[in-house]
Structure 1
Amino acid sequence: MKNILYKGLFLSLLGITMSCDPFLEGTNENPNDPTAVSSAAILPTVQLALAYNYNANFSRVSSMWVQQVEGLDRQWAGYNSYTTVASDRSTDWLNFYVDVIQNANIIIEQSTEDGYNHYVGSAQVLKAFSLMVMTDYWNDIPYTDAFAGVENLQPVYDSQASIYAEVHSLLSIARSNLAASDGGLALSGDLIYSGDTSLWIKAAHAIEAKAYLHEGLLSATNYTAALTSIENAFDSSADDFNFAFGTGAATASPWYQFNRDRGDIGFSPTMDAVMVDLNDPRKDIYDGDNESTFLIEYDTHEFFTIDQAVDMATYTELMFAKAECLIATGGTQADISEAYFAGIESSFSILELDTQYATYIAQAEVSPATITLENVISQKWLALYANPEVYSDWRRTGLPNLTPVSGSAIPTRFLYPQTELDLNTNTPTVTLFEKVDWDTN
């Protein structure tokens, strides 16, 4: 898997040239060794790296901290009780910068030069999503000076506000590029939407809705902006922004590989108790046959399958986001209810539980007379199993109401990696319990 992830970057680095005497020009050139790699070849490596990183430690750690799963052995038992050190996140940081953002920059640069607008736009969407994830977990991050190489080994940290401004800018420009002509080269190598630019445009709106929702506590106008983005985003789950992994041992989904090779995680007793109380049929799909750890049933787990599609932005989550934004902006109960139930129904449908949906929502706990923010976020927590978005929801709203498994507080961010602390004097000193800037809850 790592060979696949690094292939795009390795090949792109082969394009570095040196100034030589004209007499020697071409002497050391290998005609079988490429000096540049096409955007079509780099794009799938960026998509794979993004999906893999998002569904690996970001998913496992954050879903532990919001008590959807539970770490039971070795370092995962430590993470579960909030014992973590800076070096734990060094690889995650590097993977985003090198495998995803740097390679996306290469696509953007060379495709802009060639006029291939659709490659530029899709790479800008991937880059925007990646920057949003990084700042959501680390707050201030290097960006403006981050890709200068040896010319600047001490990049400054850009504020979260400036990173979010860049996210919005990238998504806006991406939509324009995706709506323009392809410049003579159709989008290929696309493992997410198979070159369908209309779906890429919808995904850009969906990611923008997520961004505005994250910023909701900073300004009430962000909820209104999120509603506008949602209306221009997905029409159904068929439009979801996700990446499906393969069925081979080396191309399996991150959770499947972890459960197969480590298996130190199991279903959280907190989520188990809530789902039992609600007679929620999704529990049997989530809990790994109620075994102590997912290792025991790794090959038959109904959710963490070998070819799991990793969700990065979905119709299901947007319906819950719509309900939340309507509550925040004084929407009617009829509109709130419509979005809320659409989110639940979509979740059931994806898991092929359509026939059990009516019975589930007939319960008073699921269908109260007045749908509150607690109802919306609690049902979103149940629907977006092991999705990092739930961690952002909990930080913004304090919902669901969770009791720390250790100490008096649940972590609200990642630590900066040890590599940054050792090599970049601009790295802020933080603790696990400091909040990112949009988390004013």
Structure 2
Amino acid sequence: MKIINRIGKVLGVGLVFIASSCDSYLDVNENPNNPEDAPISGLMINSTYETAYNQYRVGDITSYYVQYLASPNPGSSGDTMEPVSHGTTWFRLYNVMTDLTIMMDKSEELGASHYTGAAQILMALNLGMAVDIFGGIPFSESFRFETVTPKYDSDVELYSKVMDFLNQGIQNLQGATTVSIGDDDFIFKGDVDKWIAFGNMLKARFMIHQKATSNYNANEVLAALDNAFSSNSDNAQVSFFEQSINPWSNAARNNANLLLDGWISEQFIEALDGTSYPDVDPRLKLMVGATNDGEFVGTPNGAGRGNAPEQGARSTLIQGQYYTSVTSPLLIATYSEQKFIEAEAAFEVDKARAYQAYLDGIIAHMEMLEVPQAEMDAYLASPAVSMGAAAFTMDDIFKEKWVALFLHAESWNDARRFNYQYKDMTVPANLNPELGGKFIRRLSYPDSEISRNGKNVPSVTLLDRIFWDAN
């Protein structure tokens, strides 16, 4: 999706909903702005924009767990997998789901089936994100002012709801509508065919999460993918403009201003610089910054910057690259991710298809970053990358998908399903001792939720697993 020149005009309207959106669960006794009277167009503005931001918010937390990022300070709580309270992310997920509940109600009343379908797909995505990081959450009693202490629905039940929303959303988008989606859609600008493809891509994403469960069917995943994205031009993303800076660009700017944000993990650098794998990946220089000496040097997770305290001695996010330009898009779902889902799903049923999808996923990501063709060809010519269908393994899929999902929330789901078995990945220094030397498997419930609804909050530890994390 190209940067929308008119986005600034409608974003001002959307920001009203960001500020005034009333979460039925979080603010059950107050409703001062009466968002039920909000037009579906305004709800669409806010929901598409904030859904992309929720992907960023979750990715900002989990990029330390999958070792894209590392704190420059030793023992930083996020870096060392401490039980941090992520109340803002919880609140924002619920805010969007509240708006989407209202949007579904209003669009159904109007017969605006395409808005209903888009809202259902966005609800599936935000609900799925919440379950993937927290597990069971309040949902069935959270949006109708029924109680101030809603019950928690199980993660298994909620995943069934995710799939129902996706199926219903696709169906509604395929039918007639009284009102067409337009520029109020920050993701696809009203392109219904792309919304349908997006719904199918998300079906495949949430089904592949369940690969270790009895619900999984590889052929169902592949069938959904047959109706999903066809190229990078279909990517689900929200682009920014000069007055609304991409948050990863802001992290890079902070670092340039000595606020120490966006330092790159040693694990990620060494996976791409020829240390952990045989080849230097041409994407490295397009994704992160070099040191003042023109080298790529990562920060060990949990250990901090060590003997390199000065600015410019470690690699960081820098402004002006694909992920960090002011107007860079926030990626929600990409064709590259889709191809790696296809590779994993096809691996046991059609290995030739799996291998081709794996190569296509690398190519799609490289093309997205605009890797020069000669460098792309050289990387793909390596026997360590193009090893042939007979020799390639699931490890190869997960490694290349990890690179292609840089900074994305989805990467933590993969890491847990893969049991963090990326080559040379180790737990951070100064690891939270309650983890007993193991990697984190879920987030803690926020402190605000425990104080508000403590009698219903499940008792869990950071090692307790979401139902699909069965490795």
Q: Select 2:329's aligned residue among 296, 303, 309.
A: 309
**Following TM superposition, by how much is the alpha carbon of 1:252 offset from its aligned partner in structure 2, in angstroms?**
0.9
**Following TM superposition, by how much is the alpha carbon of 1:61 offset from its aligned partner in structure 2, in angstroms?**
2.1
How many percent of aligned residue pairs carry the same amino acid? 26
TM-score (norm 2): 0.82
Q: Which has the higher helix share?
A: 1
Quote the residue 1:219 is aligned against: 214
Quote the residue 2:170 is aligned against: 175
For residues 73 and 259 of structure 1, the distance between their equivalents in structure 2, rounded to whole angstroms, comes to 17
- Cα distance 1:92–1:293, how it changes in 2: closer, same or farther (>3 A)? farther
Count of residue correspondences = 411
The answer to whether the aligner puts 1:95 opposite 2:117 as a matched pair is: no
Quote the residue 1:52 is aligned against: 53
Read off the aligned partner of 1:265 and give its amino acid letter.
G
Contact 1:138 1:414 in 2 (8 A): yes
In structure 2, the gaps of 5 or more residues are 1-7, 23-33, 292-311, 432-436
The answer to whether the aligner puts 1:144 opposite 2:140 as a matched pair is: yes
Instruction: Point out the more displaced range, 170-179 or 200-209.
Output: 170-179
Quote the residue 1:330 is aligned against: 349
For residues 35 and 405 of structure 1, the distance between their equivalents in structure 2, rounded to whole angstroms, comes to 46
The answer to whether the aligner puts 1:234 opposite 2:255 as a matched pair is: no
Read off the aligned partner of 1:319 and give its amino acid letter.
K
The answer to whether the aligner puts 1:113 opposite 2:109 as a matched pair is: yes
Tell me the secondary structure at the aligned position of residue 330 of structure 2: strand
**Following TM superposition, by how much is the alpha carbon of 1:67 offset from its aligned partner in structure 2, in angstroms?**
1.0
The answer to whether the aligner puts 1:359 opposite 2:356 as a matched pair is: no
For residues 194 and 351 of structure 1, the distance between their equivalents in structure 2, rounded to whole angstroms, comes to 23
Read off the aligned partner of 2:106 and give its amino acid letter.
Q
For residues 443 and 14 of structure 2, the distance between their equivalents in structure 1, rounded to whole angstroms, comes to 23
**Following TM superposition, by how much is the alpha carbon of 1:287 offset from its aligned partner in structure 2, in angstroms?**
1.8
Contact 1:193 1:199 in 2 (8 A): yes
For residues 298 and 4 of structure 1, the distance between their equivalents in structure 2, rounded to whole angstroms, comes to 31
Quote the residue 1:24 is aligned against: none
Q: Select 1:256's aligned residue among 241, 246, 249.
A: 249
Instruction: Write the deviation string for residues 138-171 of structure 1: whole angstroms up to 9, x where unpaired.
Output: 110110001133x301111111111111111111
- Cα distance 1:74–1:45, how it changes in 2: closer, same or farther (>3 A)? farther
For residues 21 and 362 of structure 2, the distance between their equivalents in structure 1, rounded to whole angstroms, comes to 44
Larger relative contact order (CA 8 Å, sep ≥ 6)? 2
Quote the residue 1:127 is aligned against: 123
Read off the aligned partner of 2:288 and give its amino acid letter.
D
**Following TM superposition, by how much is the alpha carbon of 1:298 offset from its aligned partner in structure 2, in angstroms?**
4.1
Contact 1:244 1:307 in 2 (8 A): yes
The answer to whether the aligner puts 1:419 opposite 2:455 as a matched pair is: no
**Following TM superposition, by how much is the alpha carbon of 1:311 offset from its aligned partner in structure 2, in angstroms?**
1.4
In structure 1, the gaps of 5 or more residues are 14-32
Quote the residue 2:268 is aligned against: 271
For residues 353 and 170 of structure 1, the distance between their equivalents in structure 2, rounded to whole angstroms, comes to 37
Quote the residue 1:66 is aligned against: 66
Q: Select 1:350's aligned residue among 334, 343, 368.
A: 368
Read off the aligned partner of 1:304 and give its amino acid letter.
T
Quote the residue 2:410 is aligned against: 389
For residues 269 and 186 of structure 1, the distance between their equivalents in structure 2, rounded to whole angstroms, comes to 44
The answer to whether the aligner puts 1:400 opposite 2:401 as a matched pair is: no
**Following TM superposition, by how much is the alpha carbon of 1:53 offset from its aligned partner in structure 2, in angstroms?**
2.1
Instruction: Write the deviation string for residues 87-126 of structure 1: whole angstroms up to 9, x where unpaired.
Output: xx0111001101x110111111111001111111111111
Q: Select 1:197's aligned residue among 171, 192, 196.
A: 192
Quote the residue 1:20 is aligned against: none
For residues 118 and 215 of structure 2, the distance between their equivalents in structure 1, rounded to whole angstroms, comes to 30
Quote the residue 1:83 is aligned against: 82
For residues 203 and 215 of structure 1, the distance between their equivalents in structure 2, rounded to whole angstroms, comes to 19
Instruction: Write the deviation string for residues 202-229 of structure 1: whole angstroms up to 9, x where unpaired.
Output: 0000011000000111037432211111
For residues 156 and 366 of structure 1, the distance between their equivalents in structure 2, rounded to whole angstroms, comes to 48
**Following TM superposition, by how much is the alpha carbon of 1:301 offset from its aligned partner in structure 2, in angstroms?**
4.3
**Following TM superposition, by how much is the alpha carbon of 1:259 offset from its aligned partner in structure 2, in angstroms?**
3.3
For residues 161 and 35 of structure 1, the distance between their equivalents in structure 2, rounded to whole angstroms, comes to 30
For residues 226 and 394 of structure 1, the distance between their equivalents in structure 2, rounded to whole angstroms, comes to 20
Contact 1:337 1:371 in 2 (8 A): yes
- Cα distance 1:385–1:10, how it changes in 2: closer, same or farther (>3 A)? closer
Tell me the secondary structure at the aligned position of residue 408 of structure 2: coil
Contact 2:182 2:190 in 1 (8 A): yes
Tell me the secondary structure at the aligned position of residue 438 of structure 1: coil
- Cα distance 1:175–1:220, how it changes in 2: closer, same or farther (>3 A)? closer
* RMSD of aligned alpha carbons: 2.3
For residues 117 and 200 of structure 1, the distance between their equivalents in structure 2, rounded to whole angstroms, comes to 13
For residues 309 and 351 of structure 1, the distance between their equivalents in structure 2, rounded to whole angstroms, comes to 12
**Following TM superposition, by how much is the alpha carbon of 1:70 offset from its aligned partner in structure 2, in angstroms?**
1.1
TM-score (norm 1): 0.88
Read off the aligned partner of 2:418 and give its amino acid letter.
T
